[in-house]
């Protein structure tokens, strides 16, 4: 009797483990892990480019109650849910062309951050983005996140409160450019933003 129970127990645990592994694998394949868009999640964004707010909400299975028009940034609609990155909660926003009223991207941002918090996030952004999308396409300069002087100059700007922005770009998809920004606006106050947007042909 006990032997049968043990067998059933092991079968049940094996089934639960298999379901969990499958769910994790499906999530990784679809690219829906936090702020990182790849695979299905990136394809979904690119399919919504040029669509109206109503069409975008339907495509993302969102209701009007789950988004709010940003009062300070025209064309930006903030989503209620946050996503994690490097131990921080990032807000999500949908980006619409003000004139056409159509979607051109989305961003994730976290504010305010202290010096070490922002440096930790920037380090993870560089590592994860390079792994997912390859080497950055940004023109080399002292104002890119991958510059050797970034951490030192960033810490100095945080101490003085002098406004400064560092950025990095990657080709995330056929139609999409990912731009990561770390900005200092006041003493010991930084913002990190990741923006996926329709690639502009120059």
pLDDT confidence band for 4 (50 / 70 / 90):
low
Span 134-151, pLDDT tens digits: 999 999 999 999 999 999
Closest C-alpha among 52, 44, 50, 81 to residue 65: 81
pLDDT confidence band for 200 (50 / 70 / 90):
confident
DSSP reduced 3-state for 117: helix
CA distances in angstroms from 25 to 8, 16, 33, 135, 178, listed in the order given: 26, 14, 11, 25, 24
Span 67-118, pLDDT tens digits: 999 999 999 999 999 999 999 999 999 999 999 999 999 999 999 999 999 9
Helix extents (H) in 107-172: 115-133, 150-160
pLDDT confidence band for 1 (50 / 70 / 90):
low
Residue 181 in contact with residue 95, Cβ under 8 Å? no
Ranges of each domain in the chain:
31-198
CA 34 – CA 154 distance, rounded (Å):
25
> E strands of the chain, at which residues?
32-33, 36-37, 67-69, 76-85, 88-96, 103-113, 164-171, 176-186, 189-198
> Could you tell me the end-to-end alpha-carbon distance of the chain, in angstroms, rounded to an integer?
74
Span 123-182, pLDDT tens digits: 999 999 999 999 999 999 999 999 999 999 999 999 998 899 999 999 999 999 999 999
Asked whether residue 202 carries a pLDDT value surpassing 90, the answer given is: no
Name 155's Cβ contacts closer than 8 Å, sequence gap at least 6.
115, 119
Span 9-63, pLDDT tens digits: 444 334 333 333 333 333 333 334 579 999 999 999 999 999 999 999 999 999 9
């Amino acid at each position: 009797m006990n032997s049968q129970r043990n067998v059933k127990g092991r079968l049940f645990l094996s089934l639960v483990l298999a379901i969990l592994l499958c769910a994790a694998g499906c999530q990784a394949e679809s690219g829906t892990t936090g702020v990182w868009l790849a695979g299905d999640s990136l394809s979904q964004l690119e399919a919504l480019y040029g669509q109206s707010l109503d069409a975008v909400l339907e495509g993302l299975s969102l209701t009007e109650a789950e988004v709010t028009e940003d009062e300070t940034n025209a064309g930006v609609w903030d989503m209620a849910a946050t996503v994690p990155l490097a131990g921080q909660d990032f807000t999500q926003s949908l980006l619409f062309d003000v004139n056409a009223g159509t979607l051109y991207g989305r961003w994730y941002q976290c504010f305010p951050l202290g010096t070490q918090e922002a440096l930790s996030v920037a380090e993870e952004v560089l590592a994860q983005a390079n792994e997912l999308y390859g080497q950055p396409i940004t023109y080399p300069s002292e104002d890119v996140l991958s510059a050797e002087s970034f951490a030192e100059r960033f810490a100095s700007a945080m101490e003085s409160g002098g406004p400064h922005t560092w950025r990095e770009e990657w080709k995330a998809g056929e139609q999409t450019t990912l731009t990561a920004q770390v900005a200092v606006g006041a003493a010991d106050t930084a913002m990190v933003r990741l923006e996926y947007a329709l690639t502009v042909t120059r």
